[in-house]
Chains A and B, each alone.
Chain A
């Protein structure tokens, strides 16, 4: 296999224009200086306590997400196209969500098979006919992009998945930038890097813009499952940065279809909830009865339009991996445009022809569970052993319709500090797209890097790290 697209070096080994400023700076430093700075970063992250909890084996432990000091640099013109593509895509996804919970025009037009939507476990019949402010459902979308050579296209951006439920990671984007500015202030003096620090302001503006009608000064809160959640650090961080209350289910209660929070001064009304709890756990009266994380009665207040939930209930249908293949069609249907960003070609194992092809080519493909997330429950054919592939084959055969498969894209690489020195490692990109009165985003997003040599899995739960992401302003 030929080497993957590298963000810094072209195939001839020359530094690309976007990286020239950085490369000449790096040449002017000593290895000792870099080593010292890397150590400093490690210490600082530990002291600040930027950690995440790990599920499974080491449950309860906190781990640091490795941070790499070589930034991922995106030229201005490249970002402009990506941003336009993201706007288009998120706009279409929101239109789709409104449509399937109302007139279902796209299904009537036969553009997407109705059964795939209506029989999907992620489709929330309870949301049918419910009007949400501004017809916005996915207020915060984390769209995962990867870059790869594909066919005759070099370094093409592909959408890997649309995260429309409770996408996380934005705190690492902000902390990574803070860390880089602290470690290498001179670098930022040399290069025009677009700022990202105003993300919390954009987010708060966005949340306030979708308050229930008639609320002049909305009270916005962030609802977290609590401190044992793997993303708890981020919940606390964002609440603090926005200056809003971080609440857990038992801080809230519903009376007369209105949500209140329990304060030392008595009950106070809540208008907008940025919730980081999955639909299922939100309201024990409406969804899972055994949930102790949610707020009884909140769904009824929501249906009555007395409180806004961000993201809306029922967005999971649009970022479902089975629905992913239809997003280009949604863009055509709702926006009347051709998609700017490409989808990764995808086989659906529910279809006999696709299934046959996939089962014959498991060693070359990536196979994912339709409802899985976080890099759990997936097979990366080329890096798996024969036994692993056979074990996975058995899982697929037991329930083929719950899987999709994609070609193994050679994700682009970026130079990264590893034990043996600096080496190319695969990366992806998650920009955060905010939808309310308008669509806004900060340039760039979170770059995740697979630290194991050859690994294509960038998830933090699977040993991935992060990098600062620079969109150049010129």
Chain B
């Protein structure tokens, strides 16, 4: 497959997955903010939302206070925010447009339709009672594109690069959401139990579609440790770090290629550590430290995917390479990690 095609497929999937995850994060924050009793500081959860995405500086430069309205507008509709849902959908559509010959027409039409509707929503704005339906819409459109990919694409590298983008982005987002929510919800590890806790953890689980799964797996009270275990270590939980990394690990082995040995090695290592990890071990090290390290490694994997498959600079004559910075030629979005830096 052409390197540039693979690049677009990967970013198309990442962007759509990011739109979905941003909607999920906003949704949980919105729900949590309705449960006022646990929060002392005003706009506490919205501030946290901004720090999840590493976009607080951009936000502060253009908005006054991190109120629900402001943050939701910034994260959902703001065309100047590269990480907004609006821009994620734009990027998914533009990447698809660049390779519409490589994907099925159903896929392109669905993404194009999503973008046309997004533009409409952007023009009309979102009313108070439209907030939840909007998040639902984003999730449904993301489910739809994934479903169409599943139902219509040949199982070749096209499909694999799409999946690679999906799972790498999802791993990144699950780690972020867990990291931030965990620290908001848990000033100290002993502070467990109580009705408010139940609702807060329930909202977190729902944001990753994990509420019912938790019930099925644990058949017991919702405890922070188990939530972390579910979202990090359970291989059967489709948004857990282990599930995502298992998928990434399988994909890079299947795609393979002449330059991929280092990528295959690092993915195997990370997925092996997750597979044989224990939640006690993770807490002993410190959850935040563990997740920060995980995010760093995901970021490095993204870099390595770039050099392994997409921009093999070794074949480019130096003069040409100087004249054509790869970033100027595609619609890639900066990753969240780059935005944080």
Chain A residues at the B interface, C-beta cutoff of 8 Å? 46-49, 227, 235-237, 239-240, 245-248, 250-251, 253, 255, 260-267, 292, 296
Contact = CB atoms under 8 A, between A and B. Distances in A.
Contact of B316 (A46, A227, A253): A253
Given A240-B100, A250-B329, A263 B2 contact: yes
B189 interface: no
B102 A240 contact: yes
B312 to A, nearest CB: 6
Contacts, number: 79
A354 B8 CA distance: 55
Interface string B99-134: 111100100110011001000000000000000000
B6 interface: yes
B1 to A, nearest CB: 5
B253 to A, nearest CB: 14
17 contacts: A47-B113, A48-B105, A49-B97, A227-B97, A237-B101, A246-B101, A250-B329, A251-B4, A253-B315, A255-B315, A262-B4, A264-B6, A264-B157, A265-B1, A266-B259, A267-B315, A296-B320
Interface in B127-184: 157, 161
Contacts of B100: 49, 236, 240
Interface residues of B, number: 36
B230 to A, nearest CB: 34
A296 B319 CA distance: 10
Given A227-B97, A240-B100, A250-B329, A263 B317 contact: no
A262 B324 contact: no
Given A48-B109, A292-B323, A292-B324, A262 B3 contact: yes
B315 A239 contact: no
Nearest to A246: B101
Given A248-B4, A251-B4, A267-B315, A49 B101 contact: no
A251 B3 contact: yes
Contacts of B315: 253, 255, 260, 262, 267
Contacts of A296: 317, 319-320
B304 interface: no
A264 B315 CA distance: 12
B108 A265 contact: no
Interface in B233-262: 255, 257-259
Query: Mostly helix, strand, loop or mixed at chain A's interface?
Result: mixed
Closest 4 CB pairs of A and B: A240-B101, A236-B101, A264-B309, A239-B101
Contact of B2 (A237, A251, A253, A292): A251
Nearest to B7: A264
A46 B312 CA distance: 37
Given A262-B3, A266-B312, 13 more contacts: A48-B112, A49-B109, A246-B5, A246-B99, A246-B102, A247-B4, A253-B317, A261-B2, A263-B1, A264-B257, A292-B324, A296-B317, A296-B320
Interface in B1-32: 1-6
A255 B97 CA distance: 30
A250 B109 contact: no
Interface in B283-341: 309-310, 312, 315-317, 319-320, 323-324, 329
A142 B329 CA distance: 31
Contacts of A251: 2-4
Contact of B5 (A48, A245, A267): A245
Contacts of B255: 264
Contact of B108 (A49, A250, A255, A266): A49
Pick from B3, B109, B161 the residue with the most CB of A within 10 Å. B3
Nearest to B324: A250
Nearest to A290: B323
Pick from A239, A263, A264 the residue with the most CB of B within 10 Å. A264
Interface of B: 1-6, 94, 97-102, 105, 108-109, 112-113, 116, 157, 161, 255, 257-259, 309-310, 312, 315-317, 319-320, 323-324, 329
A262 B102 contact: no
Query: Mostly helix, strand, loop or mixed at chain B's interface?
Result: helix
A261 B2 CA distance: 7
A266 B257 contact: yes
Nearest to B320: A296
Contacts of A253: 315-317, 320
A55 B37 CA distance: 58
Given A239-B101, A253-B317, A296-B317, A262 B2 contact: yes
B254 to A, nearest CB: 12
Contacts of B324: 250, 292
A251 B5 CA distance: 9
Contacts of B323: 292
A250 B99 CA distance: 15
Contacts of A247: 2, 4
Given A247-B2, A248-B4, A266 B258 contact: yes
Contacts of B6: 264
B108 to A, nearest CB: 7
B160 to A, nearest CB: 10
Contacts of A261: 2
Nearest to B308: A264
Nearest to A235: B101
Nearest to B115: A49
Contacts of B94: 227
A191 B255 CA distance: 50
A136 B255 CA distance: 39
A329 B101 CA distance: 42
Contacts of B258: 265-266
A240 B103 CA distance: 9
A101 to B, nearest CB: 29
A62 to B, nearest CB: 10
Contacts of B105: 48
B16 to A, nearest CB: 17
Contacts of B257: 264-266
A253 B257 CA distance: 19
Contacts of A48: 105, 109, 112
A63 to B, nearest CB: 15
Contacts of B109: 47-49
Nearest to B310: A264
A246 B99 CA distance: 8
Nearest to B160: A264
A46 B112 CA distance: 9
